[in-house]
Amino acid sequence: MKVTYYITNEQEKIEFLPEYEELIKKAVEGTLAYEGIDRNCEISVTFTDNESIRELNREYRDIDRETDVLSFPMEDMDELDGDGDVVLGDVVISLEKAKEQAEEYGHSLEREISFLCVHSCLHLLGYDHETGEEDEKEMFGKQEEILKKIGQER
């Protein structure tokens, strides 16, 4: 499996460190491996600030408030069994919100970035915690297992 990454930083409020790209790669590849995905994939990850993610949240979800991460799947995940490359989709992370949450939860910003990336990757793969209690339990359980495997457990 080869993953092609498009990682961009479009915010200036929080210093963007080079190791954040490595965290993203480890989280994406850990999620794909956990899910048994062995096809070549593409994913875009954009770091932004609270104001910009609020605009996206309002535009795409009709929710007028900031959020930590947004996921925009590109392919029907039922097609993961086929051949060829898979364009997973786009992930947008508010680095500003991630820092706030890391402080609130008492863990590192690196752990929060990893969590948000794993969470979003699972959304790109078709998981949705907002569809019911069982779906939430399944998705959150997977998140914790993946984070543990990549060394970012709580």
CA-wise closest residue to 42 among 76, 74, 78: 74
pLDDT score, position 79: 59
Please tell me the predicted confidence (pLDDT) of residue 154: 75
Quick one: pLDDT band at residue 78, thresholds 50, 70, 90? low
Average pLDDT over residues 30-45: 95
Closest by Cα among 129, 69, 130 to 101: 69
pLDDT for res 76: 64
Topology of the domain comprising 3-149:
Collagenase (Catalytic Domain) (3.40.390)
Query: Which tops the pLDDT comparison, 38 or 100?
Result: 100
State the pLDDT at residue 6. Answer: 98
Tokens 């954040």 found at: 20
Q: What is the pLDDT of residue 131?
A: 81
pTM of the model: 0.93
pLDDT band at residue 60, thresholds of 50, 70 and 90?
very high
Q: Give the pLDDT confidence score for residue 116 in this predicted structure.
A: 98
Side-by-side strand order, sheet with 3-9: 3-9, 41-48, 86-94, 69-73
Candidates 32, 11, 1, 18; CA nearest to 117 is 32
Q: How confident is the model at residue 80 (pLDDT cuts 50, 70, 90)?
A: low
Extents of the domains making up the chain: 3-149
36: DSSP letter: T
